[in-house]
Structure 1
């Protein structure tokens, strides 16, 4: 509470009245102005519904937060023995918002941080596309221009799609990358391989408009 006369927050409570809507008679210790003001609401725990995603799986749970807090997208929470990051918030009006008072939150969406980062890896060979899903440590760093290898075939990274933007230069951590784009290098290319991602592949798909998958490896 601040004094309406001098904005000081140094005060003394002289009297209270009311039960449900309590008011306080307050005296400012700086300017001695006396005034009635609504009593601040007592802070209490609020149980909020949470939906946590972990790759293709998701589950519903809840978390207790304090009524005087704000929550925003990107906040880290510890729920069900897992570190999670808030990815979306739905308020009491069923609207998605970036931040919201806890007392107005209907649902929190979050993603588990206790898993590795899952990234799409698209490697192009003149129109024949090899698409992988890889899982690496969240702090693994990829850079535009890096030469990687998958199952003995080398590729050079030329772009990223991250959570916020597309990138054609620079580097990014795996935890913010959604997809990596690369071009297959010829078998006689002498570029030094920075990392072999073969052991991190969890799924592979080949897309060839001519239905000739063998062309990819030639």
Structure 2
């Protein structure tokens, strides 16, 4: 952006002209177009990839949650050292599948009211899942390792190992999400601090004539 200012002391008028270099403007427009519009091949590649990854992750989560319901239901009375572990698996599986259903409903609803209801229900379910995960951690970790043979400290091996693995995996996932959120926040803050302060005016005046004081001191 090139700016030219001319003071005419004799007439007491200041002419301000704000001229943009043609080559620079064309280059900026071309750069903006490249950033906003990606090639067709890239778009057609990324969109199915993201959808496929999302579907695979949701299917894996649904399988794990269904396994928790089945194992917890069949081994309900086979963990006397901590009877709440099978119940923990059953409730965690049911609420996990419910959260997937609500997520799908929230993403497909077009009306505003339905979207708000689905999002509110999803937030409540996620909050319950987090509290339930804390409770499951209190029930699962302190008895590690249990006795896998019949006795007062007995817990069926599949039931306990599944509860231990699912709980640990969920905590690791939450930690990764939290770390990624911090990294994104730090990067955004650095971009804000390194952004140029002197930006061009949003409402520039081209070829405008501004009335100045009758007497002007100094030349520009």
TM normalised by structure 1 equals 0.21
Which is richer in helix?
A: 2
Q: Whose RCO is larger (CA < 8 A, sep 6+)?
A: 2
Which is richer in strand?
A: 1
TM normalised by structure 2 equals 0.20
Bigger radius of gyration: 2
